[in-house]
Structure 1
Amino acid sequence: MMTFLFALLTIIFLYYSSNLLLSLLVLEMLGFMVLFYMALNLSVILESDFLILSFFSVFVMEGVIALSGLIMLVSFTGSDYVSSSSFSKL
């Protein structure tokens, strides 16, 4: 239930957000949460090392993408930040 409410709030945030990079970071976090939820549910049914390693590698990739996006968000100057904050300017 909490995952559904978080997904609903995320969709509302993405609809009204004007910052493209922050929206991509929120989408990345939502994808990470969905993969984590799937891994928790599948690990109860299937206990295999390949499944654990594959989900761990996906978690690492998601974390690297989110961290690089966060670094880009922090390291923007003012003009870059303004030019990237709108879909129409891309």
Structure 2
Amino acid sequence: MEIYEANCAACHGSDGTGSISGIPDLTQVAGFKRGRDSDSELFRHIKHVKNGLKTPKSPLAMPAKGGNPNLTEQEIIEVLKYMREKFTNE
């Protein structure tokens, strides 16, 4: 998906495994698949976190909207759907 590739893949990798050391692997339980975060919670993190979302073991914080202030709510929803389908088979 173009939106993921343009806004997320630089850090999370095209395959979701994390292209930078310490970036969460979205294909693993400890990453995107962790299950405790609903899509609405993930949406909130992607859209609203002003100082970035930083997991304890990550060296970098994810900037709001993946660093793209022009990312729309619909595009965030599409990215979440794409990530669920591609990385978790949910």
- Superposition TM-score tier, normalisation by shorter sequence: under 0.3
Q: Which entry has the higher C-alpha Rg, 1 or 2?
A: 1
- TM-score normalised over the length of structure 2: 0.24
Structure with the bigger percentage of helix = 1
Q: Which has the higher contact order (CA 8 A, sep 6+)?
A: 1
- TM-score normalised over the length of structure 1: 0.24
